[in-house]
Chains A and B, each alone.
Chain A
Amino acid sequence: MPSSLSILIAGAAGQGVQSAAAILGKTLHRLGFYVYTSQDYQSRVRGGHNFMQIRFSHGPLAAPVRTHEFLLALNNESLEAHLDDLAPDGLALCMDADKGDVRDPRLRVLSEDVGPQAARGEKFVAMKLLSMLFAWLGFPPETLRQAVEAQFKKSLKPDVLQANLDAVQAVASAVDARDVRAVPFTPAVTHGRLLLTGNDAIALGMVAAGVGVYVGYPMTPSTSILNALAGYGPEVGIAVEQVEDEVSALNAAIGASYAGARSATGSSGAGMGLMTEAMGLAGITETPVVIVDAQRAGPSTGMATRTEQSDLLFVVHASHGEFPRAVIAPATVEDGFYLAAEAFNIADRWQIPVFLMDDMAFADAESSVPSFDLGRVRIDRGPLAPEPGEVRLFRRYEVTESGVSPRAFPVLSKWIVACDSHEHDEVGRMTDNLENRNRQMEKRMRKLKGIAASFPGPEIVGAPAEDLVVCWGSTVGPVLEAIGRLRERGVSVAAAVFRYLYPMNRERVQEALSGFRRIVSVEGNYSGQLGRLIQMETCTRIHGHIGKVDGRAFTVEFAVERIQEVLGGAS
């Protein structure tokens, strides 16, 4: 009995793959199943080859798979491309006209004649296939009809909507009883569970943290955060602006933070490159700011709609000169919410730029997660200066033991607040004085020690075990599911999940990684960047690297095979 089922919906851009997947995912989620959906698309508005997979189970899911129980093919190309990924006892479905030369006992075809005259043609294909899927799964057509109505009530004309609803009913009645396969697991009470993407969770975490200003330039896969916050803006009071470039984005976010808002920006790939100049500005002016790096395949334009985890060492080192910063990465969609909120606290507490690392596979994938516990979110703005009796120049860069000087906000107080991108004295006036330079540089850099001390080490999952894999971001989901399957095959491997990537808490990381025979990093990049960072920061030896640079997300099967290959020994 499988503990989860996977459905692949494939077709050209514009054929309705996304809306079909959205309806399917939401319906399964509302029925009480845990859902995980991920997508694969090209950087084009029409045509091409796109697919989405929807997994569902009675327990949490956080990874895509390679083998599917069901395939809904919206055209012949999709059918031919994905039959190999269909389980031996799976079922595929396409319209009669799309069958082509395919002969496969698992293939079912739907006649164009099924359903009302008003529901003929390409626009209705996705809905018809979806209706048959629901029938195969043993769900009453009413379930889908309600979902279709909810999804399209506003966007479709009444007669088109009715044609869709009639088609759903007609296709469901045409099901062959022998193809009906009751779902082998039962749903659970949802307790208000949420179904959302990694970027949704990040945007919501920012709102919880009190983000007031978000500035960005559209770039896949960071754009959905810009869209989400712009959408929430009028409701919860966030000023969002699409600026002329990413150079402007980070400088504006820094200006907003100086003026007293919690501010953030996000980008990807080359956009992150454009921000590097201002990263150092945040560093030397000690201005808190949160920067989301929604990574995609690089370098340069790379592959615009493909995932990669290749910016880690870049953000750890980006910008000229030396200044403290922090880099964190959510490992689950839930983490996306809590870590996005925490990113602002780290930024404010230490007055530094904080990088929240995201990647396309994480940004766009949707999971069912427990509703967020707002009691777990705290807002810590760091040390703030008391209001003076009269107007006075503020000692913004007062040298302190922790390196953090209390903050005050211009216009909101009687303090005159001066910040400087040039080296400066305690009141923010530029100077090249050498003693001052040493004092201010040491003040800033010693924050790194404090930040590291405040950061937890990695979470170890699956110990005790002989070997260990280290992972972060979107590889965590596939790795954790893979180590469970590997254990069943007699491969004893645990996983270290890194959320706090830089600065590393040397003692905690060393301790967590000790006692394993071999340590291998599993990351979506070529060079094993987390592995290298661990070696550099903690002197812990990393024995190997399992990478992936094809731009496609890690699947559970891929992780199982590669980890077994590298760590499975002779077995």
Chain B
Amino acid sequence: MKCVERFDPFEPQWCPGCGNFTLLDALIQALSDLAIPVTDMVMITGIGQASKLGFSVNVNLFDGLHGRVLPTVLGVAMANHRARILAVSGDGGFYAEGGNHLIHNARRNVDVAVLASDNRVYGLTKGQAAPTSAPDFTTKVHPEGTGSHPFNPTALALAAGATFVARGFTGNKAELASLIKEAVEHRGFALLDILSPCISFNKKNTFAWFKERARPVGPDHDPSDLHAAWKLATLQEERLPTGVFYRTERPVFGAHLTALRGDPIAVRTQGYTPERVRPLLERFR
């Protein structure tokens, strides 16, 4: 069995010191530990610096549109409910352009591990505000600050019905790798918000800024307690807890559909003939 490995020929286009390098290492480590056959994994990525991560991992990859990662995930999950799906993008993709898809696929409990690299800035387009940026974050577009309340990914995921909600930090690689493993192993919609400092464009939320605030939740937290999870998720500035906030079990998307029982649709498709429609014609006679 061949497991996931680093895809050597491709050199990531990140700045030296970018949090995404750590994320890549942690991801490779997690996937290697999980020993999932590489052919079973499908990674869906979008646009943005984090989304380039897909090119550095030797797995099935669909690098789609900005913000549309989760709809594509839904389609893959419908066609093949046995696929192990990873969705990787940034705060722009998941929280801005794709915000609606985040809400509704969390509700559906699509079986996917969502790795959201959250650096609170748009790096690829050179330094605009992200939905997670603070109100006083100034950029060329927002010389007087964004003025807007920052988007809270973990709180939103809890409200929308995600069955696994966690936060990681690229400054804690061992914990991050372990969180990725848990997210991938979780059956259902797993959001892992990953604090990943942008060293070039975010002079406010720097590595040191995150380092000062990021603290593991500790053994006292009970991830089955939604109220406790909500408390952790709503701590936004003074302290940024890392770890699994919430974990519960609910049927994954498709469990209610007869069509998604047994062999995946993609497999059954290979045996279809036009005769499939014959039983449906009688009702029109």
Contact = CB atoms under 8 A, between A and B. Distances in A.
A290 interface: no
Contacts of B101: 244, 247-248
B64 interface: yes
Nearest to A255: B75
Contacts of A200: 284
B280 A262 contact: no
A308 to B, nearest CB: 27
Nearest to A369: B284
A415 B59 CA distance: 10
Interface string B81-114: 0110000000000000000110110001000000
Interface stretch (A176-184, A235-243, A453-461, A483-491): A235-243
Contact of B268 (A212, A379, A415, A428): A212
Interface in B243-282: 254, 257-260, 264-269, 272-281
A261 B62 contact: no
Interface in A404-419: 409-419
B155 interface: no
Given A232-B280, A239-B259, A278-B65, A374 B265 contact: no
A400 to B, nearest CB: 21
A88 interface: no
Interface string A244-272: 11011101111111111111000000000
A412 B267 contact: yes
A422 interface: yes
Interface in A270-284: 277-278, 281
Given A244-B101, A419-B62, A422-B63, A215 B75 contact: yes
A484 B159 CA distance: 64
A322 to B, nearest CB: 17
B55 interface: yes
A196 interface: yes
A161 interface: no
A245 B105 CA distance: 12
B285 A254 contact: no
A419 B280 CA distance: 36
B60 A417 contact: yes
Nearest to A261: B79
A102 interface: no
A160 interface: no
A421 interface: yes
Q: Interface residues of B toward A: which range? A: 35 or more
A341 interface: yes
A252 B72 contact: yes
Nearest to B1: A391
Given A243-B104, A391-B38, A430-B55, A409 B280 contact: no
Contact of A241 (B72, B78, B268): B78
Nearest to A203: B280
A416 B60 contact: yes
A161 B264 CA distance: 44
B76 interface: yes
A190 interface: yes
Interface residues of A, number: 77
Choose among A30, A195, A241, A253 the residue with the greatest number of B CB atoms under 10 Å from its CB.
Answer: A241
A235 B279 contact: yes
B68 A256 contact: no
Contacts of B259: 212, 233-234, 237-240
Contact of B64 (A208, A243, A262, A421): A421
A204 interface: yes
Nearest to B257: A239
A463 interface: no
Given A244-B100, A259-B75, A259-B83, A196 B272 contact: no
Nearest to B278: A374
Contacts of A195: 284-285
B57 to A, nearest CB: 10
Interface stretch (B16-24, B39-47, B136-144): B39-47
Contacts of B65: 251, 277-278, 281, 421
B282 to A, nearest CB: 9
Interface string A384-395: 000000110100
Contacts of B82: 411
A210 interface: yes
A252 B39 contact: no
A238 B66 CA distance: 28
A278 B71 CA distance: 11
A192 interface: yes
A151 interface: no
Nearest to A236: B276
B178 interface: no
Given A243-B104, A379-B272, A255 B63 contact: no
Contact of A254 (B72, B264, B265, B267): B72
Interface in A81-98: none
A363 interface: no
B75 to A, nearest CB: 3
B276 A207 contact: yes
A410 B68 contact: no
B75 A254 contact: yes
A562 interface: no
A252 B80 contact: no
B61 interface: yes
A410 B269 contact: no
Contacts of A77: none
A209 interface: yes
B281 A261 contact: no
A285 B274 contact: no
Given A239-B78, A255-B75, A377 B274 contact: yes
Interface in A180-239: 190, 192-196, 200, 204-205, 207-210, 212-213, 215, 232-239
B274 A208 contact: yes
Contact of A213 (B73, B78, B104, B284): B78
A416 B254 contact: no
A243 B71 contact: yes
Nearest to A260: B266
A166 interface: no
Contacts of A215: 74-75, 78
A430 B281 contact: no
Contacts of A252: 71-72, 74-75, 78
Nearest to B260: A239
B75 A213 contact: yes
Given A210-B276, A236-B277, A260-B79, 6 more contacts: A233-B259, A234-B259, A235-B279, A259-B83, A260-B267, A418-B60
15 contacts: A194-B285, A195-B284, A208-B277, A210-B269, A210-B276, A236-B280, A241-B108, A244-B104, A261-B266, A281-B64, A379-B273, A411-B42, A412-B267, A415-B39, A417-B60
Interface of A: 30, 190, 192-196, 200, 204-205, 207-210, 212-213, 215, 232-241, 243-245, 247-249, 251-263, 277-278, 281, 285, 341, 371-372, 374, 377-379, 390-391, 393, 409-422, 428-430
Interface of B: 2, 10, 38-40, 42, 44, 47, 52, 54-55, 58-65, 68, 70-76, 78-80, 82-83, 100-101, 103-104, 108, 254, 257-260, 264-269, 272-281, 284-285
User: Top 6 nearest A-B pairs by Cβ distance?
Assistant: A255-B75, A260-B266, A410-B60, A210-B272, A261-B79, A251-B71
